[in-house]
Amino acid sequence: MWSILQIGGCLKRNGGGLNGEWGTNRDPVYLLVAGSLLTAMERGMKNEIKIPLRVEAHGSVAIAQLVKDGLKNPDIISVSDPILFERLIEPKWHVEFATNQMVVAYNKNTDGGKLVAKRGEEKWYEPILRNNIKIGRTDPNLDPLGYRTLFLLELAELYYEKINLKDEILSKSWVFPEIELMSYFEIGGIDAAIVYKNMAVERGYDYIELPLEINLSSPEKVNDWYSKVRYKLNSGEIVRGDVIKYGSTIWSEEFDAAIVNVFEEHIKGNYLREFGFYIPEAYPKIVGDVPDGIEGVLDR
C-alpha cells in the first residue's frame, strides 16, 4: 500500500549552483519516504516549499527492497531506520535527520481504549492481556515500526517482569499497513496501537508515553537495554535494537538545484518538530562520503 502526493506550483531563484532556476517544465522531485513521514510532508513540508513534488510512501523495509530490485528510482529516499541503507541498498552517503519514540496510542471513544488509558505508563498492558481489546501494529517485514514493536514488547517483558507478555499481546493484535494503521482509530476499528509518537501527535490522538528502557528513544539505554533485542528480516539481514533514527539520501546520480533544495527543506524543515519528531542538537548528521555540493547545504 502506498500514497502519492502531487504538490503543484513552482519556485524560481536567481543565480547558479544550489540556488539555480527551475520552473513548470521540470518534472516533480520524486521522494520515496517512510510511511510515518507522509502526513508531516502532506500537511507540513508542502506549505514550506513550492517546488513540484511527488511523494510516495511505503514501509521502509519495502522501500529498500523496491529500490534494490530496481522497481523504484526516486530522486530522494528517506527511511525510518538508516541500517536499511547499510544492509540493503548501500548508498555512498546518507544523513540522519530526526528521531522518534514508541508510544501506545489509545482510542478514548472505545471501551477498550478507555481501559488502556486508565492503567497508564506502568500498567498499560494489563487490560490488553485480560480483555478483548483490539490493538494494532504493523508488519515487521515491511517497516521498522513493525520490528520495533516486537523490540518494545520483548523489552517490556524484562522491564515489567511479565513472562509471555510479548506473545500474549501479539496473539491479540491486528496487523495493518503503516500508512493505514492510525486511520482505524477514526472508524473505531481498534482500541489501541503501538506506534511512533509523531503518528499520534499529528492526528491529535491520545497516547501513553513509555519508560525510556523500552521506548527506543534514549542513547543512554542502548547498551543495557535496546541492544538485547534483534529481528531477522525475510532478506536474512538481522536488525538490532537501537535508538529510533530517520535517514535520507539523494539517490539520483544527476541531481539539480531543485532536488538539493527539496532535500534541504526535507531534512532541516521546521515542519518536523511541528509534527512530533525530535531533532537532536547534533543533527543533521552526515554518514559516509557526501558530495561537495550537498555538504555545503548541510553546513548552512
Confidence label for 300 from pLDDT (cuts 50, 70 and 90): low
**C-alpha to C-alpha distance for 24 and 18, rounded to whole angstroms:** 18
- The number of domains in the chain is 2
Residue-level pLDDT at 23: 53
User: What pTM was estimated for this model as a whole?
Assistant: 0.89
Last residue of a domain, one of 177, 202, 232: 232
**Where are the alpha helices (H) located in the chain, listed in sequence order?**
38-43, 60-68, 83-84, 111-123, 125-130, 144-160, 165-171, 183-186, 197-201, 212-215, 257-268, 271-274, 292-299
Domain end: 232, 260, 283, which one?
232
User: 182 vs 74, which has greater pLDDT?
Assistant: 74
Nearest Cα neighbor of 169 from 199, 191, 196, 141 is 191
> Is 111 a member of any domain?
yes
Opening angle at CA 79, ends 28 and 35, nearest 5: 75
Measured distance CA(183)–CA(177) in Å, rounded: 10
Question: pLDDT tens, 20-54?
Answer: 445 556 789 999 999 999 999 989 998 888 899 99
Q: Residue 235 — very low, low, confident or very high, per pLDDT cuts 50/70/90?
A: confident
The mean pLDDT value for 1-18 works out to 36
Tell whether 129 is covered by a domain.
Answer: yes
Q: Give yes or no: residues 107 and 95 share one domain.
A: no
Given a cut of 60, whether residue 220 has pLDDT beyond it is yes
56 and 67 housed in the same domain: yes
Are 141 and 196 part of one and the same domain? yes
31 and 46 share one domain: yes
* Structure confidence at residue 76 (pLDDT): 97
DSSP 8-class letter at 42: H
Place of cell 500498567: 123
Quote the pLDDT of residue 28: 94
Range of the domain at 163: 102-232
Q: Say yes or no: 168 and 224 in one domain.
A: yes
For the segment 58-115, what is each residue's pLDDT rounded down to a tens digit? Answer: 999 999 999 999 999 999 999 999 999 987 788 899 999 999 999 999 999 999 999 9
Question: Mean pLDDT across the chain, nearest whole number?
Answer: 89
User: Would residue 93 count as lying in a domain?
Assistant: yes
Is residue 215 domain-resident?
Answer: yes
Please state the separation of Cα 150 from the chain's center in Å: 16
- The answer to whether residue 44 sits within a structural domain is yes
Beta carbons within 10 angstroms of residue 141's beta carbon: 16
- Looking at the structure, do residues 252 and 167 belong to the same domain, yes or no? no
**Which pLDDT score is estimated for 295?**
74
Residue 275 in any domain: the answer is yes
Dihedral sign (CA 235, 290, 299, 263)? negative
pLDDT of the residue at 297: 76
In this structure, the answer to whether residues 64 and 133 fall within a common structural domain is no
Q: Give residue 6's pLDDT.
A: 40
pLDDT of residue 173: 95
Mean pLDDT along residues 266-286: 94
**189 lies in the same domain as 201:** yes
Pick the last residue of a domain from 200, 232, 264: 232
- The full DSSP string for 171-230 is HTEEE--TTTTTHHHHTT--SEEEEEHHHHHTTT--EEE--HHHHS--GGGTTTTGGG-E
Query: Does the structure show a pLDDT above 50 at 11?
Result: no
Asked if residue 131 and residue 67 are part of one domain, the reply reads no
Same domain? For 12 and 42 the reply is yes
The three grid cell numbers given for residue 124, joined into one nine-digit string = 498499560
Shared domain for 71 and 168, answered yes or no, is no
pLDDT at 24: 54
Distance CA 84, CA 76 (A): 15
259 and 212 in one domain?
Answer: no
For residues 213 and 138, the answer to whether their CB atoms sit within 8 Å is no
Whose cell is 511541528? That residue is 274
Q: Is residue 110 in some structural domain?
A: yes
Asked, for residue 237, whether it belongs to a domain, the answer is no
126-152: pLDDT as tens digits = 999 988 899 999 999 999 999 999 999
pLDDT > 60? residue 19: no
- The CATH number of the domain where 15 resides is what? 3.40.190.10
Burial classification of residue 207, based on how many CB atoms lie within 10 Å of its CB (0-12 exposed, 13-18 middle, 19 or more buried): buried
Set of cell numbers at residue 206: 491520545
Rounded distance between C-alpha atoms, residue 30 and residue 73, angstroms: 9
